[in-house]
Structure 1
Amino acid sequence: MASKRALLCIRSYAKQTHSLNGDTDVGIEPDELDELLAKPSWSVESLLPPKNQAPDAPTVSSQQLHHLLRLSALPPPESAEEEKTMLNTLSAQLHFVGEIQRVDTTNVKPLRAIRDETKEAEKEQMVTMDTLSKALAQEQIIGKHHKRIQRKTDPVDAKDVESWNVMGSAERVAGKFFVVDSERPQE
């Protein structure tokens, strides 16, 4: 279900890009996306070390592990097997971080935030004197001595919220309660 949604989002983005640019050649046609997305181009597993210890994987000593656990306020391993598992996991994680750090990010702009960073979005988010004057026009001062500022607000229409049927999506209802079937046999 989630992959279908992602595919639909990518398709709509490709169609918007295609129509906004006005070009007939934007690199990928929206119909080609199914074929393009059918095969992954890489896997996270390619960044992980092999199951047997990689020669370039950083090694962590038992003493270093215990020191890290103490600094993190985590309990020490209870057995030698648990300690070996922790050491292998930590080594794999360090190898993963090392592989990520090797990625060439030359000429890649740093991500400032997870939001639309286009010129139009930056222009929309910019606070100008016009936007400030509109916001200040929505305020009114009341009182003589201690001037209090209140925002003018439109009355809220809550009829849609009040008429919402909360039980409408429930499979089973008993009066004003949801009914949840348990897997335990009834006694």
Structure 2
Amino acid sequence: MASVRSRLLTRCRLNTAFSRFSSSKSNANLESILAEPSWSVRSLLPDRASQASSPSVTPKQLHHLLRLSALPQPASDEEERSMLQTLESQIHFVKEIQRVDATGVEPLRSIYDESPEAVKETTIGLDRLRDAMAQEQVTGRRRRVKRVPIAKNDRPDGNAWDGNALGSASKTKGPYFVVETGS
């Protein structure tokens, strides 16, 4: 009963902590929120008593899962007990995470900068479309669209590369450049 009460208190603290965060709040309020922990990592781990009393995975199911996963079977009873205990703690962890109330929380689409500036930078507007359309040329009887490269100078020194790799070599011999070494 005490563990259920502590879980409910933890969940209430998490919900109130999320609702209290706002950009208009003062730093003093934020410090008071963060002054004491609202939950513990230990709450995500199973109690030893509950783990031993009602295992949710039997040794037969463990062997079946290992076979399906193409993993080696446990070599001893101790290793099997260890695997069962690890699996039980992982199942408990997943169940605890699933209990978190995520109403109103947007799902994570991907990990990247989602600030308004980054969204504006990655948004394709009319200016970028006009630039892309200016690079296209309709050719042929079937009116195929062909992209015409715009001569752009990407070199920092300002000289456009003419495609001659041997042009800057001091000495050449046919299609090769010569490197003189000391004796």
- TM-score, normalization by structure 2: 0.55
Q: Return the offset for 1:36.
A: 6.0
Q: What residue is the counterpart of 1:93 in the other structure?
A: 90
From 113, 117, 134, the equivalent of 2:114 is: 117
Q: What residue is the counterpart of 2:25 in the other structure?
A: 27
Distance 1:107 1:57, change over 3 A: farther
- Structure-1 separation of matches of 2:43 and 2:29: 26
Q: What residue is the counterpart of 2:103 in the other structure?
A: 106
From 53, 56, 66, the equivalent of 2:63 is: 66
Q: Return the offset for 1:105.
A: 1.1
Question: Which has the higher Rg, Structure 1 or Structure 2?
Answer: 2
Distance 1:54 1:151, change over 3 A: farther
Distance 1:86 1:148, change over 3 A: same
- Structure-1 separation of matches of 2:98 and 2:154: 54
SS of 2:149's equivalent?
A: strand
* 1:78 matches 2:75: yes
Distance 1:117 1:148, change over 3 A: closer
- Which blocks of at least 5 consecutive residues in structure 1 are unaligned? 1-16, 19-25, 159-187
Q: What residue is the counterpart of 1:47 in the other structure?
A: 44
- Structure-1 separation of matches of 2:126 and 2:91: 50
Q: Return the offset for 1:39.
A: 5.2
Contact in 2 for aligned 1:140/1:151 (Cα 8 Å): no
- Structure-2 separation of matches of 1:130 and 1:57: 64
Q: Return the offset for 1:46.
A: 1.4
Identity of aligned residues (%): 49
Q: Return the offset for 1:112.
A: 1.8
* One-letter amino acid matched to 2:25: G
Q: What residue is the counterpart of 1:154 in the other structure?
A: 153
Distance 1:54 1:62, change over 3 A: closer
* One-letter amino acid matched to 2:154: P
Q: What residue is the counterpart of 1:131 in the other structure?
A: 128
* One-letter amino acid matched to 1:28: S
SS of 2:153's equivalent?
A: coil
Distance 1:100 1:123, change over 3 A: same
Q: What residue is the counterpart of 2:5 in the other structure?
A: none
Q: Return the offset for 1:100.
A: 0.6
Distance 1:149 1:51, change over 3 A: farther
- TM-score, normalization by structure 1: 0.54
SS of 2:96's equivalent?
A: helix
* One-letter amino acid matched to 1:27: K
